Structure 1
Amino acid sequence: MTMQSAQTASAVKVSRLVKHYGDMVALDYFDLDVKTGEIFGLLGPNGSGKTTAINCILALLVYDSGTIRVFGEPMTPTSYELKRRIGIVPQNVAVFNELTVVENIDYFCSLYVPKKAERAPLVEEALEFAGLQDFRKFRPGKLSGGLLRRLNIACGVAHKPDLIFFDEPTVAVDPQSRNAILEGIQRLNRNGATVIYTSHYMEEVEQICDRILIMDHGRHLALGTADELKAMIDTGERITIATLDLTDDALAATRALPCVIEATYDGRELDVRCRRGDRNLTDVLDTVKRFGANVGHLTSRPPTLNDVFLELTGKALRD
């Protein structure tokens, strides 16, 4: 395989996947194409079908129709050679409380690498990778939330998988551990692993993912880099103005501006969603001041992935 074809080959290719739970459609002709070597973000509100899609890809669920190929081969429940190339870091920490840190990593690695002599250096490398060398004899109950998450990751990646699924790996961890986890994921990727990443934290997704797919109701809604996704929506700028005396007339005049998509006021802050334009801030500020409002702190920012998500799905990611 040439370098160019290796870069563009699919690590995971899902075509027209359909999955029902009784009368409910969980996946509705869902498509996914993750290229080898990328960090791919998979986003969707709760109930959008993310977990169902991942479980189908891993051959943990039977689906109604469609095709799934991993590294170019069909994925089935008995595709053991393919499964050895996959690592999973689940959202809920899945370790044994009776085993020490090093024993946990060794156990999970043994599911893929039966020979202890081959496994030993992999376990040590995973310990070092997760920054857990000083905690090797600790049981999980003695670890902080951040260290426990890092152990969860070490157990999922010790066998050096080519494809790794990370499902919400930074939930409820401190900022230092979060940064360590994100840097670790990027390091795994630089060392050759393809990563599929789900998170509720949009800033993380924007920081580490090469491409992002937004899904809802079991369907593919939008795909692209963070910048490409932001260019797909109407919102070009978000303006917030602190003011305690905005009148109804001032709010109505703001909403009537050609650049304004939506304006809301909660008695303390005016929040204005604008289309792309060079004079948005000036136009909004002039309008507010014309009606005599006193203006405090104001901000203007380009759209975020949260804005993209809200506009495409009608929901906040946490809904």
Structure 2
Amino acid sequence: MPSPAPSSPISCWSRPLAEILGASGLVVELGARRGLFRTRPGVRAVDGVDLSVATGETFGIVGESGCGKTTLARTLLGLQREAAGEIRLEGRPVSGQAAAAARRARAAVQYVHQDPGAALDPWWPVGATLAEGLRIHGVADRAEQQARIAEMLAAVGLDPAFAARYPHELSGGQQRRIGLARILLLRPKVVILDEPTAGLDLSVQASVLRLLRDLRGQFGLTYLFISHDLSVVRRVCDRVAVMYLGRVVEQGRAEALFAAPQHPYTRALLAAAPRLDGAAAGPSLPGDPPSLRAIPGGCRFHPRCTLADTRCGQQEPALAPLGPDRLAACHHARRAA
């Protein structure tokens, strides 16, 4: 039995929609040190990423641990400063700013932590945590705070009495609902969901995914959906980008990408994904991803790729269109399907 999903697909593709969040040539360097006598170069955790998220869609980002998914999300949010490239929000450039200024400019983008329990103060009741966010964003009237908190708890399917509970009194699913309420109180337009179903049993996953679908419709949200669970991504995302060593190697509509992956890395990820229908999973990817400090020349995936040839080791493929809303960075993309 596959992982649970909303009772109907989440889709926004009945009409073309404008970009709400985008990036061009985005580069993020981590670990750089500049001293008086010695400079230590950083590693490029995100290296030349182009991205365009349409208003109202659910855009998935997948890849192995360390591929740059979360770093990309933190940079789009403004928590991590980009080294190069442009970030756009609703058509306006918002890149090139210090972290505090970037967060102010991107207030319409909010982030739901992958461990919502760790994001809640264990010494504070839920209501105090939610009220703090409102105070920081200029809502000082206590009556208004309480009214908005009660409204948002109801919107995420919790009784307003949950405001008096402490984090340790909540289940994993309830903590995720509180995390969503905390973000929605700030009235965002784009919500970054980092592993929103990790660590939940199947029934709780289903309820969380249904809630995300309903909230998207109710509040007109756009989701950036980061997950290792490919079965969930397949069912809830409109489009998907696959990352490897800081770069997007394939991108397209979810149903087309999962039905006929064009990049060998995407094929290997899908083949190795756990199956709950009794079918055997495919072979694991050979080897481990190389260090970001020792990225191989040519195609970054070629040391682990069964299709690699001399050209792959010498020339890095560009992310090129293969058809309507389909991109892949592979010299053998057409025969990789």
C-alpha deviation, 1:74, in angstroms: 2.0
Determine which structure has more spread, i.e. the larger CA radius of gyration.
1
C-alpha deviation, 1:51, in angstroms: 1.4
1:140 aligned partner = 167
Aligned with residue 205 of structure 1, among 223, 233, 239: 233
C-alpha deviation, 1:34, in angstroms: 0.4
DSSP-derived class of the 2:81 partner: coil
After TM superposition, the structure 1 = structure 2 runs for residues 134-173 of structure 1, keeping only pairs within 5 Å, are 134-173=161-200
After TM superposition, the structure 1 = structure 2 runs for residues 121-136 of structure 1, keeping only pairs within 5 Å, are 121-133=147-159, 134-136=161-163
After TM superposition, the structure 1 = structure 2 runs for residues 170-319 of structure 1, keeping only pairs within 5 Å, are 170-191=197-218, 192-229=220-257, 230-233=259-262
- Aligned pairs, number: 239
DSSP-derived class of the 1:172 partner: coil
CA contact (8 A) 2:77 2:111 kept: no
C-alpha deviation, 1:220, in angstroms: 1.1
DSSP-derived class of the 2:53 partner: strand
C-alpha deviation, 1:139, in angstroms: 0.6
C-alpha deviation, 1:50, in angstroms: 1.0
**Structure 1: which 5+ residue stretches go unaligned?**
239-260, 262-268, 274-311, 313-319
DSSP-derived class of the 1:119 partner: helix
- TM-score (structure 1 length as normaliser): 0.67
Q: Is 1:73 paired with 2:92?
A: yes
CA contact (8 A) 1:88 1:157 kept: no
1:89 aligned partner = 112
Aligned with residue 29 of structure 2, among 20, 25, 40: 20
C-alpha deviation, 1:195, in angstroms: 0.8
CA contact (8 A) 1:147 1:177 kept: no
Aligned with residue 11 of structure 1, among 11, 20, 40: 20
Amino acid at match of 1:87: Q
**Structure 2: which 5+ residue stretches go unaligned?**
1-12, 31-40, 272-278, 284-329, 331-337
Cα distance between partner residues in 2 of 1:56 and 1:272: 34
2:299 aligned partner = none
CA contact (8 A) 2:250 2:263 kept: no
Cα shift readout 1:32-67 (whole Å, capped 9, x = no counterpart)? 110111111111211111111112112222222110
DSSP-derived class of the 1:34 partner: strand
1:285 aligned partner = none
CA contact (8 A) 1:87 1:161 kept: yes
Amino acid at match of 1:121: A
2:132 aligned partner = 107
Cα shift readout 1:254-293 (whole Å, capped 9, x = no counterpart)? xxxxxxx9xxxxxxx98789xxxxxxxxxxxxxxxxxxxx
Cα shift readout 1:136-174 (whole Å, capped 9, x = no counterpart)? 321111112222222122212222211111101221123
**Distance 1:81-1:7 versus aligned 2 partners, 3 A rule:** farther
**Distance 1:27-1:79 versus aligned 2 partners, 3 A rule:** closer
Query: As a proportion of its length, which structure holds more strand?
Result: 1
RMSD: 2.8
**Distance 1:141-1:45 versus aligned 2 partners, 3 A rule:** same
Amino acid at match of 2:90: F
Amino acid at match of 1:186: R
DSSP-derived class of the 1:228 partner: helix
Aligned with residue 48 of structure 1, among 67, 71, 91: 67
C-alpha deviation, 1:127, in angstroms: 0.7
- TM-score (structure 2 length as normaliser): 0.64
